[in-house]
A and B are shown apart, each in its own frame.
Chain A
Amino acid sequence: MTNKTVLIADDEADIVETLAFMLEAQEFTVITANDGEAALMKAKEERPDLILLDVMMPKINGYKVCRLLKFDKQYSNIPILMLTARSQDEDRAIGEETGADEYITKPFDIEEVVEKVKEYLKV
């Protein structure tokens, strides 16, 4: 049906697996990355239609990845939904300009996330 691609970037394999399962069930194509560096690379090489981005990742953290992509005209139109664990620092960061389209706090409701993805991808 839809050939939309979603990039899931999170260093926790279990979370990647559960999200991938639900998204593939909705017939999205899923690509994954385990750290910030890989996330950036995959985003640039494969140009997904939406990115689910975790904040705490090794190598480069989620905020930096988000900023780098949003400040680059080539990729700034890709919707980015950030997954945060909602602590002090993250609250503050939310107030700053990372440019993310939305913030989803953990633990999230997986069906809700799927709904949001569908919303952003206008499906």
Chain B
Amino acid sequence: MPKIVVYTNSEENKSSVINTLSEAGYYTVLANSIDEMLEMISSSSADIMIFEALADVKETSLLLRKIRLQDQSGDIQIILLTPPTDNIENIASNADGYISLPINKAMLISTVNSHLRLKEHLDIFSTNNSELAKRFYQLKVLYDTNSNLAGTLDKKKLINIMNKGLRQSISYSLCSTLVINNEEDVSLIINSLLPITKRLEQALKLRAIISYKSLFPQDKLPFDINIEKIKTFVYHKQSEEIYDLEVMNFSNIFSPIATSDKFFGTVEIMRDSKLSTEDMTCFQTVVSQVALPLESAILYEEIQEKNVKLEKLEKLKSEFVSIVSHELRTPLTAIKNSLDIMLSGKSGELTDKMSNFLNMGKRNVVRLSGIINDLLDLSKIEAGKMEYRFEKMDLSEPINLIFSTFDTLASQREISLHVENELQESFVFGDTQKIEQILSNLVSNAIKFTGQNGDIKIKLSKVTAQELDKKKFIAYDINQVDLSGAYYKIDVQDTGIGISEENLLKVFDKFRQIESSLSRKVGGTGLGLPIAKEFVDAHKGFIWVESEENKGTTFSFILPEYTQISSFLIELENLYQKANNQDFTFAVIHLKNTKDNALIDEFLTTDKAAAKKMKIFNIKQDAYIIFKGFIKNQLDDCIENFKNFMKTKKDAKIKLNVAFFDENLLFNEFLEKFYKGEN
């Protein structure tokens, strides 16, 4: 019922106004004094104030302002009764409506009506405003919740953020969240305004299970939950009162927490005041927002676990080589020693038969030892942990060593073994031990597959890139083969049983043994050639084979001639691989226009420790220095020292650029970056 407050100076006007309005059915209240009027307005809200203007305009204005201040709702419509005058300056300007005296009844009623309508609109507007404010707040809560959910992969935190979001946007009395990780790990989280009784807790537990079961047809529950195994967590805010079973009668809304293919749990909200449709929408929105992050959180946990396992595996891989090496070779040593002792005759006299079988045992121990070596080599290569020690070396050395190693065996089999080498020198940048291994493998194969009166020739020659036919490199992708400069070629040529054409292609594959009755007697693991190829490749060389059945086979491999540049690049690439697989870093410095190493030698006298870890390559007018084996901090310090030292030399022609190992770059990308240079 709209309320009208009236105050006039004259009795005549007073009764006129009141009578008219009462007749028209309005609820009208008369104020007898200005103070009473002000009090009425402040104590209870009035819709309309009808007020007779005072003699002084300024005083009227002031009073009008007071009225507005007193009005709590702030929307009171003030209608001023003014004396008849044409002069606007005599009328207070801050009223909402004006009626000229003497009072015209029709005028009064229509003015009051239109202002009441206006007031009504204002009220609606104001309600809408506060509704909007509330919605805006909810939206903000939703937005914040969403941002917070995106910020964590911790499952517990996600559930907490969801609960917080629900609490802020809906102001629940109680929120019950069922979180199911697996059948053994089920939690019920109860967030309540007030503490709850034990029986309410039990009731909520039951209720959660029933609601969960209601979501699925009976035989298709994703998890079979045992109520005894549910862990309950209760949190409450205030504690003056306590909730009991009355909560079950509150307004409530329930939702599963799930994505389209994964189910995480359920959540239910209870509130003593009615939940509006907006509240329900808010609830659905928050709950739907949490399902995806939960899925990510679970995936993240799985990835973490897998990572830990992977790291353990990597460590095991590294240790595997050492452990197996020791575990396999130790008993083998004992067996070999025992056989040797018996064969020496020192543990008793030997009969021929004993000697025969003991030698058989010994041969097989040697064979087993070779297999273990091959397996371990392969294992190291696969794990990226094969170590190379490159240096300038002459190929004639390993060739002569292998020749003398197999000479006796060849003679025993009546095979002629000889070396053909007319070169004065044959320097390459290589790992002597590995080259010996390659040659050993090729020559022992040649002996295995060559019959009596056969011939095996080890030939060393020098060739240029042009003289080589790439088409023969069947074990390589021809497009990737880049030949330049000069190479030293080693051929191991035999007159043995040869290899058939289809087997030729597979000869460098692991675990491949050529099928033939002769070869089956010979045995082996089929690992020697693939390993030999790995070693040749590491030297930036190529290996291939040519053969004709029953005529003979020639295995050939080439290694680049030793030049400063190729050795530098080989060393660099090798280090790069090493640094990728191990806990180790390095850096390269390119010094332009140094002419000679005098300056570098000077630096070395000032920093003797650095000398052991530096390798210098002189290529044309420049020097390339590799600093290797440091821990990162040591490396940075050493490079700083070197740079500072160079700065003191003040030779403008010398330019320096440095590149550090970067595990995120491929070797080629690293090289490019290095050549482009940063000073």
Write the residues of chain A forming the contact surface with B, with a CB cutoff of 8 angstroms.
Answer: 12, 14-15, 18-19, 21-22, 25, 56, 85-92, 106-111
Contact = CB atoms under 8 A, between A and B. Distances in A.
Contact of A15 (B321, B330, B387): B330
Contacts of B331: 14
28 contacts: A12-B330, A12-B334, A14-B331, A14-B334, A14-B337, A15-B330, A15-B333, A15-B334, A18-B334, A18-B337, A19-B337, A22-B341, A22-B346, A85-B325, A85-B330, A87-B322, A88-B322, A88-B385, A89-B322, A92-B387, A107-B336, A107-B365, A107-B369, A109-B340, A110-B336, A110-B341, A111-B340, A111-B344
Given A12-B333, A15-B337, A21-B341, 7 more contacts: A14-B338, A18-B341, A21-B346, A85-B329, A90-B322, A107-B333, A110-B340
Contacts of B365: 107
B318 to A, nearest CB: 8
Contacts of B334: 12, 14-15, 18
Interface in B620-638: none
A59 to B, nearest CB: 16
A106 B341 contact: no
Given A18-B338, A88-B321, A106 B333 contact: yes
A61 to B, nearest CB: 11
Given A21-B346, A22-B346, A88 B332 contact: no
B347 interface: yes
A21 B347 contact: yes
A110 B337 contact: yes
Query: Could you say which of A86, A88, A90 has the most chain B C-beta atoms within 10 Å of its C-beta?
Result: A88
B592 interface: no
B303 to A, nearest CB: 30
A88 B384 CA distance: 12
B457 interface: no
Interface string B363-387: 0010001000000100010000101
A6 to B, nearest CB: 15
Contacts of A91: 387
B330 A88 contact: no
A106 B365 CA distance: 12
B333 A108 contact: yes
Interface in B24-43: none
Contacts of A87: 321-322, 325-326, 376
A60 B340 CA distance: 30
Contacts of B326: 56, 85, 87
Interface residues of B, number: 26
A53 to B, nearest CB: 14
A92 to B, nearest CB: 7
Contacts of A25: 346
Contacts, number: 69
Interface in B165-197: none
Q: Which 4 A-B pairs have the closest CB atoms?
A: A18-B337, A87-B325, A14-B334, A107-B333
Contacts of A12: 330, 333-334
B333 A88 contact: no
A88 B334 CA distance: 22
Contacts of A22: 337, 341, 344, 346
A89 B335 CA distance: 25
B332 A106 contact: yes
A85 B346 CA distance: 26
Contacts of A110: 336-337, 340-341
A92 B321 CA distance: 14
B373 to A, nearest CB: 9
Nearest to B335: A107
A17 to B, nearest CB: 8
Nearest to A112: B340
A54 to B, nearest CB: 9
Interface in B570-608: none
A20 to B, nearest CB: 10
Contacts of A14: 331, 334, 337-338
A25 B346 CA distance: 7
A118 B100 CA distance: 139
Contacts of A56: 326
Contacts of B322: 87-90
Contact of B332 (A21, A92, A107, A109): A107
A90 B547 CA distance: 40
Contact of A106 (B330, B340, B376): B330
Interface in B69-107: none
Contacts of A108: 333, 336
A86 B337 contact: no
A8 B57 CA distance: 123
B386 to A, nearest CB: 8
B534 to A, nearest CB: 15
A26 to B, nearest CB: 9
A28 to B, nearest CB: 14
Contacts of B385: 88
Contacts of A92: 387
A109 B646 CA distance: 54
Nearest to A12: B330
A109 to B, nearest CB: 7
A56 to B, nearest CB: 5
A42 B387 CA distance: 36
Nearest to B322: A87
Contacts of A18: 334, 337-338, 340-341
A76 to B, nearest CB: 23
A12 B335 CA distance: 12
Nearest to B347: A21
Contacts of B333: 12, 15, 106-108
A111 to B, nearest CB: 6
Contacts of A107: 329, 332-333, 335-337, 365, 369
Nearest to A13: B334
Contacts of A89: 322
Query: Could you say which of A18, A21, A89 has the most chain B C-beta atoms within 10 Å of its C-beta?
Result: A18
B380 A88 contact: yes
A110 B335 CA distance: 11
Contacts of B341: 18, 21-22, 110
B409 to A, nearest CB: 16
